[in-house]
Amino acid sequence: MLFRRVAVIGVGLIGGSFGLALKQAKACGHVVGIGRSRANLETALARGAIDSIGDDAADCDLVLVAAPVAQFPRILEDLSSRLSPDAVVTDGGSTKRDVIAAARAALKGKVGQFVPAHPIAGSERSGAEAADAGLFRGKRVILTPLRENPEDAVEKASKAWAACGARLSRMDAEEHDAVLSTVSHLPHLLAYALAQDVATRGNSGRLFEIAGAGFRDFTRLASSSAEMWRDICLANRDLLLADLARFEKKLERMKKCLADGDAAGLERLFEEARAARDKWLNPSS
Amino acid sequence: MLFRRVAVIGVGLIGGSFGLALKQAKACGHVVGIGRSRANLETALARGAIDSIGDDAADCDLVLVAAPVAQFPRILEDLSSRLSPDAVVTDGGSTKRDVIAAARAALKGKVGQFVPAHPIAGSERSGAEAADAGLFRGKRVILTPLRENPEDAVEKASKAWAACGARLSRMDAEEHDAVLSTVSHLPHLLAYALAQDVATRGNSGRLFEIAGAGFRDFTRLASSSAEMWRDICLANRDLLLADLARFEKKLERMKKCLADGDAAGLERLFEEARAARDKWLNPSS
C-alpha cells in the first residue's frame, strides 16, 4: 500500500476517478472526499470513489486537489494549516502557472510538498457520476515539478498517478500552459463558439435537426463544464488570446482563398492539415 | 427489384456504399461503376459494390453521381447524350445550388430526370475501400427537387435512397446550402484551420505529442478528402464566408470576455452552448 489515507478535494470526473483507480489498484487505505456539493459527495460515496465525506485533509499522506482552477487559492489556503508534514499534494488542474502561483502564495514554506500535475484524460462529462476507475489508464499525466520539490515528493506523486495507470512525463509550467492552450483550450473555445452561434440563430431548430456526426464530434468539447472551462480559459488567457490571434490569421488565409476562388491554395491548406493529422494518428502509414 | 441496371459515377465512400446497400436490399440488378481511378474501381469491384467497370451510363434506369462537386459539369455533360429517357439521375453532392445549375446547363430539356439529393452520412474516410452497406441506414437524405421534376421521378429517387435505409426529407436548395454551410462546411473549415495551424508551428511535434482525445475529435473533419472539401467550400463560398463572418463576431465576444476578465460573461456563453448541445443530443433530459 502506497498511501495510508488520501484526501480528494473536488470529487468530480478527475477526483472520483482518482479515488476509484487508487482503490482498485489497492494503492491506498482510506479515501476521504471533500467538496462543495453534498449530493455529489454522496454519489462518490455510493460509487465507492471515496470511503467517507470529510471537512479537511488532516492526517492524510496524499492529497489531490481536483476542483475548477479558480478555487485553488481558497482550497490551498484552507489546506495549508491542516497539511501533515509528510503529506504530498498533487492536483488535476488544466493550467499550471496560475495553480503554482496560488500554491506558492497559500502554502508558503510548505510549497515543496505540492507537486503540480495535469492528467490529459478529460471528457465532456463531469461530476462523480462520470468517474471511472479506468479513466487514466494509458493516458498521459504531465508533472510540472517545482524547484522547491524534493525528489522524494515528486516520486510519491508519480507513484500515485502511475498506480492509476497513467504514463508520466515532465514539462515546465510555461511550456505546459502554452502547449495546452493550443491543443486543448483553443479547440474548447472554438467548439463553444460554434455551438453558441448555432444555438442563438433564428433557425437553430432547423440547424440542429440537420446537423450530423461531424457537427456532433466538432462540438463535443462544448458539452464540457462551463464553470471549469471558464476558469481554465481565464487562467490561461494571455496564451489563449495569442493562439486565437494566430488562428484568426489562418482563417484569413482560408477566407482569401475562398474570396479569390483559389482552389489550389485552399486544397493545399486542407491537405497539409489532413496529412499532418493522419500521420499523427497513424505514424507508421 | 426497383432498378434493372444502375450506374454509379464516382465509386467512393458514398457511391460504393450506395452500390453495396442497393445490392444488399436486392433493390437492383446490375451495377456498373464509372470513375477516374482504375485502382479504386477495382477495389469497388472486389468488394462487390459494383458488378462491372464501365465507361458510361447507357441503358441504365438509375444513375448516381457521387463525385466531388466541381466535376459535375463535365460528368453531367457526358451523361446528357447517353441518358435513357426512362432513367432517373440522383446525386450525393454536399452542395445543391451549384449542382442544380450544372444539371440545368448540361441536361437542358432532360433536367427533369435529375433529382438532387444529399445524404448526411459522410465520414472523414474516403474511397471504395471505406464503402459500407450500412452507411445510410437511419441517416437523413435531403432531396431538393426541381420544379422540372415529375413527381414520378422524385418517387423513384426516393425509393432508391429508402432502399439504402435512409430517412428522406425535402428542402429547397437555397435553404439546404445555408443550413449545411453552418452545421457542416463551417466546422470542416475550422477543423482544417486548427490542424493546419498546429501542423505548421515550430513545436508541432510537441503539440501532437500532448494532444488528446479532445483535439482528435475536434479535428476529425480535417481528415476528410481535401479535394472534396475544396470543391464544397468553393461551391458554397458566399454562404460560408457569411457564416465565417458571423462566427468571428462570436469569437470577438469571447475575446472581449477574456481580455476583460469577464468570468460571468464567458460562463454564460459557454453555458448557452453546453445547454443547447446537450438538449440536442438528449431532447428528453
CATH number at residue A232: 1.10.3660.10
Judged by DSSP in three states, A61 sits in: coil
Tell me: do A80 and A195 sit in the same domain: no
Structural domain boundaries enclosing A275: 175-281
Tell me: do B164 and B25 sit in the same domain: yes
Tell me: do A137 and A66 sit in the same domain: yes
Question: How many structural domains does chain B have?
Answer: 2
pLDDT for position B124: 79
Q: How confident is the model at residue A95 (pLDDT cuts 50, 70, 90)?
A: very high
Separation of CA A173 from chain center: 14
pLDDT for position B240: 98
Using the 3D structure, point to which of B171, B205, B223 is the last residue of a domain: B171
B276 touches A at CB < 8 Å: yes
Using the 3D structure, point to which of B171, B190, B212 is the last residue of a domain: B171
Neighbours of B170 (CB within 10 A): 13
Question: What residue of B is the nearest CA neighbor of A236?
Answer: B258
Tell me: do A81 and A20 sit in the same domain: yes
pLDDT for position B113: 98
Mean pLDDT of A79-86: 96
Place of cell 472534396: B228
C-alpha cell at A36: 462543495
pLDDT for position A124: 79
Window B:71-130, CB contacts with A under 8 Å? 120-123
Residues in chain B: 285
The answer to whether the CB of A49 falls within 8 A of the CB of A11 is yes
C-alpha cell at A98: 496560475
Tell me: do A198 and A243 sit in the same domain: yes
Chain A / chain B CB contacts < 8 angstroms: 272
Judged by DSSP in three states, A97 sits in: helix
Tell me: do A118 and A250 sit in the same domain: no
Place of cell 471504395: B128
Q: How far is A197 from chain B (nearest CA, A)?
A: 7
B278 touches A at CB < 8 Å: yes
Percent of chain A with pLDDT over 70: 100
Using the 3D structure, point to which of B171, B197, B231 is the last residue of a domain: B171
Tell me: do B236 and B112 sit in the same domain: no
pLDDT for position B161: 98
CATH number at residue A47: 3.40.50.720
Q: What is the DSSP string of A267-281?
A: HHHHHHHHHHHHHHH
Q: Select the residue of A196, A210, A267 nearest B226 (Cβ to Cβ).
A: A267
Window B:181-240, CB contacts with A under 8 Å? 182-184, 186-201, 203-204, 206-208, 210-227, 229-231, 233-234, 237, 240
Tell me: do B164 and B207 sit in the same domain: no
pLDDT for position A125: 86
C-alpha cell at A241: 488570446
Tell me: do A214 and A275 sit in the same domain: yes
Tell me: do B140 and B193 sit in the same domain: no
A22-59: pLDDT as tens digits? 999 999 999 999 999 999 999 999 999 999 999 999 99
Percent of chain A with pLDDT over 90: 96
Tell me: do B96 and B217 sit in the same domain: no
Question: What residue of A is the nearest CA neighbor of B119?
Answer: A212
pLDDT for position B34: 98
Tell me: do A155 and A19 sit in the same domain: yes
* Cα–Cα distance measured from residue A71 to residue B164, given in angstroms and rounded to the nearest whole number: 53
Q: Does B285 score more than 80 pLDDT?
A: no
Contact A217 B217 (CB under 8 A): yes
Contact B184 A214 (CB under 8 A): yes
Residue of B137, B139, B183 to mutate, interface with A, max A Cβ within 10 Å: B183
Contact B187 A193 (CB under 8 A): no
Whole-number CA gyration radius for chain B: 21
